Structure formats: C-alpha cells, structure tokens
Amino acid sequence: MTQNDTLARYSDWAFESAFAVLVLALVLLIAEYATHRADVVAQRERELVAAGQGSATERPAGPGRVDETPKRPLSLRLGNMGRALVVVVAGLQIASIVLRGLATERFPLGNMYEFVSMACTAAVVAGLVLLRKPAYRTLWVYLLVPVLILMFLAATVLYADAAPVVPALRSFWLPIHVTIISVGSGIFLVSGVASLLFLLRIRYPKGEHRTGVLATIAERLPDAQSLDRLAYRTTIIGFPLFGAGIILGAIWAEAAWGRFWGWDPKETVSFISWVIYAAYLHARATSGWRNTRAAWINVVGFVTVLFNLFIINMVVSGLHSYAGLN
C-alpha cells in the first residue's frame, strides 16, 4: 500500500469517526432537550423551598450544618457534553478533508463526496460560531440532523475513492470557486434551519400551552424574533460568499470554455438560488415582510441549493457533471 493509499484510508477513518461522534453528540443533545422540562420543575421546587414556601420538613440553616452546593441540572450537563463532542466532530471533519487532499495531492473538492463533506464541515463550524449564545443552544439538535443525513449520504451514495480529478478541474480556480460555494452552502443550511424553526415558533407562540408533537418540539425553541434574526444575519454572511462563488465560477468558465456564462443547468439554478436569497434579504429588510412570507422565501432558497447539489449533479447532464459517481 502506497503512502497516498494510507492517507486516503486515514481520511475515510476520520470521516467515519466524525459521523460516529456526531451520532453520540446528537443523542446527548436530544437527551438534554428531553430532560429540560423535568429540570425546570425541579429548579422551581428548590426556589420555593428556599423562599420558605416548600416542604415543611426543610431544616433551617444553623451552626454545624453544611449546605450542599447545588448541582448543575442534568439537561445542562448533557448539553455541555454534546456541544463538546461537536467540537471534536469539527476537528475530525477538518482532518478528513486535509488527509483527503494530501492523499490525492490536490485540493479535495473534485466530486460530490468531497463537496458535501466540506459543506457539512462549514455548517458545523458556522454553528459553533453562530449558536454559541445560550438562547440558541437548543437549535443544535435541528442543525445536526440534516448534517448527519448529508454525511450519511456522502459516505454511502456519494462516496468516491481518492483519485485525481478530470482534466477540466485541474485549475487553481478549483479551490477558490468550489470552496466559496461549499462554505456558502453550509452557512445557508444554518439559515434554512433557523427559518423553518421560525415558522414553527410562529405557529406555536411562546407561552401558549398546546398538546401535540410539534407543540412539544416548539416548546424549547427561542422566541420567533430571535430565530428570525439568526436566519437573517446568517444569510447576510452566506449571500455575498455564494455570489462571489458564482462570479469566480464565471471567470473560470471564460478561461476553460471561452465564455463567462452559457446557461448550463448548474449555472442557471445557482443564479436562481442567488436571486431567491436576494429577494429574501430585500423582503426581510422591508418592514412589511418581516413575517412568514420572508421566511418561506429563505426556505425555498435553500431547497434550490439542495436541488442544485443533488438533482442537477446526479440527474441532469451538463458541463458541471463532475459528481464522481459510478
């Protein structure tokens, strides 16, 4: 086995380890979500006892009595462990990408497996930056579920062996153009999840006690305004990146194919996605559209990004058909 084959195997192991750790992190974060209600009730009971409104058998403080330091709630401990594992996941994802690049002696963005791996890494890293506030910690469950699904598809349906790329991709524009597009797509994942949760929170407002699965899911979500702001600010970050990626891709197309724009299916859908996100930002900045209509535009924008990634690459034939699938 050559050194490149060894590095490729290490890259695959890093990716598989990231997937396994991600599953464990998700289990812990779901457990945090599930135990939060019990911890809130217990905390309220302790507060009542401390105020003299609780159990009559409580012993008064006095000499010789040592008060126990209150333990952190179980939900908080589970959540902290889960978020710590997410940091490990990000490290393993980055290691997998770097090792794949060393194994192939090129920038590791030559097929759909590598593109999805980079986009998932960008989504996790963006989550570590954007969801660090305590109010947003419950959103990790909803961000990691689509990341887990994408990683599963990458490791199974989309997987490609470490190998050189086709001649058309042997250009210095590859790491510039495709990296920006993949990172922008990963950031749009965070934005799309925030808008979907905003729509759920609008349907089940904070403070209203309703029954049902969706109502239970919505119970621990931040308020609608916080979710709306998160989606808007995240899109502001992803939108210029995605637009820059399209422009740089046009420059690369002129050097490779002799024209800046040819309405290739992938070019066309990318432009449509960009227009939709521009419409969302415009609608969101207009006071009359700060509601569900703007959020739906954002969700549609992310759907077009997924359509461009899977349907255009895997079904439609075009100049950008470099999926790397057998």
Residue 16 clears pLDDT 90, i.e. is over it:
yes
> What pLDDT is recorded for position 290?
64
In the chain, the amino acid numbered 88 is V
Say if 56 falls within a structural domain.
no
Say if 83 falls within a structural domain.
yes
**Structural domain tally of the chain?**
1
Q: What is the DSSP string of 192-248?
A: HHHHHHHHHHHHS-TT----SHHHHHHTTSPPHHHHHHHHHHHHHHHHHHHHHHHHH
Cα–Cα nearest to 159, from 41, 12, 57: 12
Say if 61 falls within a structural domain.
no
- Structural domain including 12 reads 3-49+74-314
> What pLDDT is recorded for position 40?
46
Say if 322 falls within a structural domain.
no
243 vs 249: CA distance, rounded Å: 10
> Which pLDDT tens digit goes with each residue over 85-121?
999 999 999 999 999 999 988 888 888 899 899 999 9
Burial class of residue 175 (count of CB atoms within 10 Å of its CB; 0-12, 13-18, 19+): middle
Q: Which two tokens stand for residue 191?
A: 């934005």
The answer to whether the pTM exceeds 0.85 is no
19 vs 153: CA distance, rounded Å: 11
Mean pLDDT, the chain, integer: 82
Say if 326 falls within a structural domain.
no
164 — pLDDT class (breaks 50, 70, 90): confident
Q: Which two tokens stand for residue 218?
A: 């919505």
Q: Which two tokens stand for residue 182?
A: 């993949």
51 — pLDDT class (breaks 50, 70, 90): low
Say if 31 falls within a structural domain.
yes
Say if 324 falls within a structural domain.
no
Burial class of residue 187 (count of CB atoms within 10 Å of its CB; 0-12, 13-18, 19+): buried
316 — pLDDT class (breaks 50, 70, 90): low
> Which pLDDT tens digit goes with each residue over 56-92?
444 455 555 544 555 677 878 888 999 999 999 999 9
What number is the average pLDDT over the span 9-24?
Answer: 96
Cα–Cα nearest to 45, from 37, 54, 57, 36: 54
Percentage of residues of the chain with pLDDT beyond 90? 44
C-beta separation of 325 from 271 below 8 A: no
Burial class of residue 308 (count of CB atoms within 10 Å of its CB; 0-12, 13-18, 19+): buried
Say if 67 falls within a structural domain.
no
